[in-house]
């Protein structure tokens, strides 16, 4: 039986994290940038939420209770409520919709219970989230594949584990309408969110497969300019760049506001996973997973409730995403852009492990990552316990 909570008011203690986050080396780039990314090494992060929570009772089972018998009734001790703290990181971006919906609709807070203090922190780049996790300022974070790979490699497989998927798809190479083939990209300038990030690796690998070389400093047959997505939109509209490999909602914005066309839909590059590839997944500090598996499992229950909510009512989920993004960034989202972006994304607990290995292989091939063994990077035990309780198929990792 699956209980789908309504949009309960939240009991989320929101903290602001102000940290001096050193940018990692070029090969350790961030994932997708947030709605208003910056290149600053110091980032102040915060998320709104101050209302108290309400907890709805579970729906009654459809099986009627048996009539009383003469046997003495068994007594079952009620589970002890959880106590502790969970520091959660995510981006104010549509590709992190399960996080935004889970916070806005109070689903994480409800799953954790009144005894767990939930503090949320938002980031503009995957490198910042990894640095905060290494500093033990956060416990769990929604993040892209390449920052997770880099965190695993830097810590020699000790610091993090991937505990669930979140989002698949939504990355495109959008170009000027006159560009209709890969050959026409020679001598052109394209943008990506940052050097070594997920989209940057995908673009460089695709160009190499098609005979076009690139270099980290912007040289080669095609010049690649890593920059924030908001800068990319302005540069594309102004004619300073010829295209960009970006995630949603920026791909839709380049099309609608910049008059671009799609040259590559990344789904077509993943035939072995039926077009699915990880855009966002969830990592945890290994030490926190070992110390508080109960809190991690409760968080994952909240994640599944968020995914249920998105699937049951996409329009309401989009409203929750907009509410969170606007409150965090202080900007107004375009509902039509968010709706279009939702149509290009798949929200799933499956981490799509095969594509993670593919991303690592691509980064190694283009020289942005040293060879690394990813076996053991996933720990899906708690997630699969919850899926089994729901009567759903298990998911697999590396």
DSSP-assigned letters across all residues of 298-356:
HHHHHHHHHHHHHHH-HHHHHHHHHHHHHHHHSS---HHHHHHHHTTEEE-S---HHHH
Compute how many other C-beta atoms are within 10 angstroms of the C-beta atom of residue 153.
20
Q: 9 pLDDT band (50/70/90 cuts)?
A: very low
The sign of the CA dihedral 63, 67, 71, 76 is positive
Q: Which residues of 207-231 are buried (b: 16+ CB within 10 A; e: fewer)?
A: bbeeebebebeeebbbbbbbbbbbb
Q: What are the structural domains of the chain? A: 17-53+84-169+277-389 (3.40.190.10), 171-273 (3.40.190.10)
Would you state the structure tokens that stand for residue 104, as one six-digit string? 């806005």
Report the distance separating Cα 159 and Cα 112, nearest Å. 24
CB-based contacts of 87, cutoff 8 Å, min separation 6: 15, 119, 120, 121, 137, 138, 139, 140
Q: Is a pLDDT exceeding 80 seen at residue 60?
A: no
Compute how many other C-beta atoms are within 10 angstroms of the C-beta atom of residue 328.
24
CA dihedral 217, 220, 221, 224 (to 10 degrees): -10
Helix (H, G, I), strand (E, B) or coil at 73: coil
Nearest to 151 by CA among 174, 125, 113: 125
**What mean pLDDT do residues 305-310 have?**
98
Report the distance separating Cα 250 and Cα 268, nearest Å. 19
Q: 268 pLDDT band (50/70/90 cuts)?
A: very high
**What mean pLDDT do residues 206-214 have?**
97
Query: 105-152: per-residue pLDDT in tens?
Result: 999 999 999 999 999 999 988 889 999 999 999 999 999 999 999 999
Q: 334 pLDDT band (50/70/90 cuts)?
A: very high
Query: 277-292: per-residue pLDDT in tens?
Result: 999 999 999 999 999 9
Report the distance separating Cα 43 and Cα 122, nearest Å. 9
Residue in this structure with the two tokens 């798949």, named with its chain if needed: 346
**What mean pLDDT do residues 294-314 have?**
98
Whole-number percent of the chain with pLDDT over 90: 77
Bridge-based pairing of strands 261-265 and 160-169 is: unpaired
**249: cis peptide before it, omega within 30°?**
yes
pTM of the model: 0.80
Report the distance separating Cα 319 and Cα 339, nearest Å. 9
Report the distance separating Cα 175 and Cα 380, nearest Å. 38
CB-based contacts of 212, cutoff 8 Å, min separation 6: 182, 185, 186, 220, 221, 222
Q: Is a pLDDT exceeding 50 seen at residue 22?
A: no
Helix (H, G, I), strand (E, B) or coil at 124: coil
Report the distance separating Cα 225 and Cα 188, nearest Å. 11
Report the distance separating Cα 42 and Cα 141, nearest Å. 18
DSSP-assigned letters across all residues of 160-222:
EEEEEEEEEE-EEEEE-TT--SGGGGTT-EEEESSTTSHHHHHHHHHHHHTT--B-TTS-BSS
* Paired residues of 43 in beta bridges: 19
Would you state the structure tokens that stand for residue 368, as one six-digit string? 């942005």
Q: Is a pLDDT exceeding 60 seen at residue 242?
A: yes
Residue 278 — φ and ψ, nearest 5°?
A: -75, 130
Bridge-based pairing of strands 42-45 and 84-90 is: unpaired
Provide the pLDDT for residue 26: 37
Nearest to 128 by CA among 112, 108, 143, 111: 143
For residues 368 and 30, the answer to whether their CB atoms sit within 8 Å is: no
């Amino acid at each position: 039986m699956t209980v789908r909570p309504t949009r309960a008011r939240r009991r989320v203690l929101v903290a602001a994290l102000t940290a001096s986050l050193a940018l990692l080396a070029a090969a350790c780039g961030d994932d997708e940038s947030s709605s208003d990314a910056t290149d600053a090494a110091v980032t102040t992060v915060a998320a709104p939420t101050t209302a108290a929570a309400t907890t709805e009772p579970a729906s009654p089972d459809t099986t009627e209770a048996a009539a009383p018998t003469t046997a003495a009734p068994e007594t079952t001790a009620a589970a002890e409520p959880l106590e502790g703290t969970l520091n959660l990181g995510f981006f104010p971006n549509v590709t992190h919709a399960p996080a935004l919906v889970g916070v806005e609709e109070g689903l994480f807070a409800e799953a954790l219970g009144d005894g767990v203090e939930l503090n949320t922190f938002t980031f503009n780049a995957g490198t910042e989230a990894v640095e905060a996790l290494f500093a033990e300022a956060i416990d769990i974070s929604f993040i892209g594949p390449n920052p997770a790979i880099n965190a695993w490699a830097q810590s020699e497989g000790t610091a993090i584990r991937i505990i669930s998927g979140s989002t698949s798809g939504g990355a495109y190479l959008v170009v000027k309408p006159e560009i209709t083939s890969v050959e026409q990209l020679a001598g052109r300038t394209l943008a990506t969110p940052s050097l070594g990030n997920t989209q940057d690796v995908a673009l460089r690998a695709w160009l190499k497969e098609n005979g076009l070389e690139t270099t980290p400093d912007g040289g080669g047959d095609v010049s690649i300019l890593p920059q924030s997505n908001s800068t990319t939109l302005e540069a594309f509209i102004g004619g300073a760049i010829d295209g960009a490999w970006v995630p949603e909602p920026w791909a839709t914005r380049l099309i609608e506001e910049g008059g671009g066309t799609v040259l590559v839909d990344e789904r077509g590059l993943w035939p072995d996973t039926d077009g699915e590839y990880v855009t966002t997944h969830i990592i945890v500090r290994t030490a926190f997973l070992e110390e508080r598996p109960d809190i991690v499992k409760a968080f994952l229950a909240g994640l599944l409730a968020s995914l249920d909510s998105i699937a049951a009512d996409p329009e309401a989920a989009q409203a929750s995403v907009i509410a969170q993004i606007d409150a965090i960034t202080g900007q107004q989202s375009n509902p039509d852009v968010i709706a279009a972006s939702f149509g290009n994304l798949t929200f799933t607990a499956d981490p799509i492990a095969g594509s993670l290995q593919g991303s690592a292989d691509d980064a190694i091939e283009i020289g942005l990552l040293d060879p690394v063994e990813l076996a053991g990077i996933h720990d899906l035990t708690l997630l699969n316990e919850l899926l089994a309780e729901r009567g759903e198929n298990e998911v697999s990792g590396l």
